[in-house]
Chains A and B, each alone.
Chain A
Amino acid sequence: MSNVKHESARPSASILVASDAQANASVVSDLLSAEFDGVQASWVPESTLSDFEAARPQVLVLAFEELEKAEVYYLGLHRRSRAIRERPHRTILLCQKDDVRRVFELCRTEHFDDYVLFWPMSYDGYRLPMAVYSALRHLAAPQSAPRYPENVIQSAERLGSVGEFIGDRLAAGAQHIETIRAAADGIDKGAVLSDAVAPASRWIDQFQADAAPYVQAAQSMHSAVQKARRLLVVDDDPFQRKLLAKYLSGEPYEVLFAADSSEAFALAMAEPPDLVLMDVMLPNVDGVEATRRLRAYPDLAKVPVVMLTGKSGRETVIESRRAGATDFLVKPIDRHTLIAKLREMLTG
């Protein structure tokens, strides 16, 4: 008898097929419904938002004949739907042969998660269901950096200094005992007094040893929470991105990189960072304008944005401040200044 377990039940998942044409939505929905329960379709422009919010899909399949329309649809959802930012989901783009290169770039840079060459209809009818299975598996896998509520982060940051706090207080206590002993040396029957404080000395040593595991636990918790701090670096220069990656490699942050403002938006909207390091001079949309646009999104309005600039001119500073920049770092940036700035802004 075989010991291989065969799954007979059809998998159920929340899958939304979005399109600008009913015929395409139907073809794709039918294909997926043959494999999954829970497939819905959306093709009426006026119902885009309500369809998405009703479905709250785990997997969103974009079945638009033109790539630009798929991008407009998805960006529109990000602007208008809170659910898309709250609900973890994967987005699969169906594309035509001529768009593969561009679609690949969009997925490589994490604007979308995956793509399937769908038009003209390929010989491989299983490719799309397989991509949906992969997306669902990805969602089921534990995420690398858990997000903690702000009060947990703040408490953990205080806990990080508990070892230093206890050490300082015990050292002060030991100093008091030494003062008493020194004074006892100069008086009659001073030895009696000196002996009397000996238990206090032993208590300090014992307390230090007993507290050590608790201090260690507090520091571990502090490190774990610190690792969940997410930085988004936006710079079009690969050298500067590499350099910042090296600067930050030993630091307890998860660092994401974007080469332009559209990559930055995609990453920031998928999960708001705790801080953005934004180069001023970016191609197409510059860092000042990108900051202004980030600020327009309620979830990103309060994220600190530190501008990275080779120019510290008055005009750049004023424009950046107006756009909502929190602070500045002038290139070339030294590691010490960067780390100090991040610590100050993320724990302040």
Chain B
Amino acid sequence: MDQDARRPIADAVRVPTLDESVLIDLLDGDVRLAAEVLRDFEGTLEQGADEIDAAFRNQRTQDLVVASHKLKSSSRTVGAMRLGELCERLEESAGGPVPSVERMILAIMAEIGAVGRRLRATRK
């Protein structure tokens, strides 16, 4: 694996999977509203995964840029910082070599799973 392909994933590992304080701060400390937004975000995760997957399979670079941009923005809103970071890397290099893009997508899918598990655990 070339170094460029490794770097985005390695860098992203340094930030947390879910920092709930980010969303609570954005909402002026409204914990109840934060819980509602996090519930909405679970659906967004699934949709984001589907959109990224479809864009990659259909080789539609622009769709991949749009899908990763959307998921990046939503992820950072709820404090899913690592996912936001990975999505940003994908947004910036969606037109790059296919194996490198594919590795990034796999990392994103794994992170989507991790964020989903954290969200479900938080709800319990």
Contact = CB atoms under 8 A, between A and B. Distances in A.
Are these two chains actual partners, yes or no? yes
Interface string A227-249: 00000000011111011001000
Contacts of B22: 332
A189 interface: no
Which of A238, A281, A332, A334 has the largest count of B CB atoms less than 10 A from its CB? A332
Nearest to B62: A283
Main secondary structure of the interface of B (DSSP, over half): helix
A240 B27 contact: no
A83 B47 CA distance: 42
Given A238-B44, A242-B40, A283-B66, A332 B73 contact: yes
Nearest to A331: B73
Contact of A331 (B43, B66, B76): B76
Contact of B73 (A237, A242, A246, A334): A237
B103 interface: no
Contact of A332 (B30, B47, B77): B77
B33 A246 contact: yes
A2 B33 CA distance: 56
B40 A243 contact: yes
A281 B66 contact: yes
Given A310-B73, A331-B77, A239 B26 contact: no
Contacts of B43: 239
Contacts of B66: 236, 281, 283
A7 B73 CA distance: 58
Contact of B37 (A243, A283, A310, A333): A243
A335 B44 contact: no
B76 A332 contact: yes
A336 interface: yes
B69 interface: yes
A335 B27 contact: yes
Nearest to A280: B69
A239 B38 CA distance: 10
Interface in B57-104: 66, 69-70, 72-74, 76-77
Interface in A246-286: 246, 281, 283
Contact of B74 (A237, A246, A336): A237
Contacts of B37: 242-243, 246
A176 to B, nearest CB: 38
A239 B44 contact: yes
Contacts of A336: 28
Contacts of A246: 33, 36-37
B28 A334 contact: yes
Contacts of B30: 335
Contacts of A238: 44, 47
A333 B26 contact: yes
A239 B36 contact: no
A283 B63 CA distance: 9
B25 interface: yes
Contacts of B26: 332-335
A243 B43 CA distance: 13
A240 B73 contact: yes
Interface of B: 22, 25-28, 30, 33, 36-37, 40-41, 43-44, 47, 66, 69-70, 72-74, 76-77
Q: A-B pairs with the 6 shortest C-beta distances? A: A332-B77, A239-B44, A334-B26, A239-B74, A237-B70, A310-B73
22 contacts: A236-B66, A238-B44, A238-B47, A239-B41, A239-B70, A239-B74, A239-B77, A240-B77, A242-B37, A242-B40, A243-B37, A281-B66, A283-B66, A310-B72, A310-B76, A332-B22, A332-B26, A332-B76, A333-B77, A334-B25, A335-B26, A335-B28
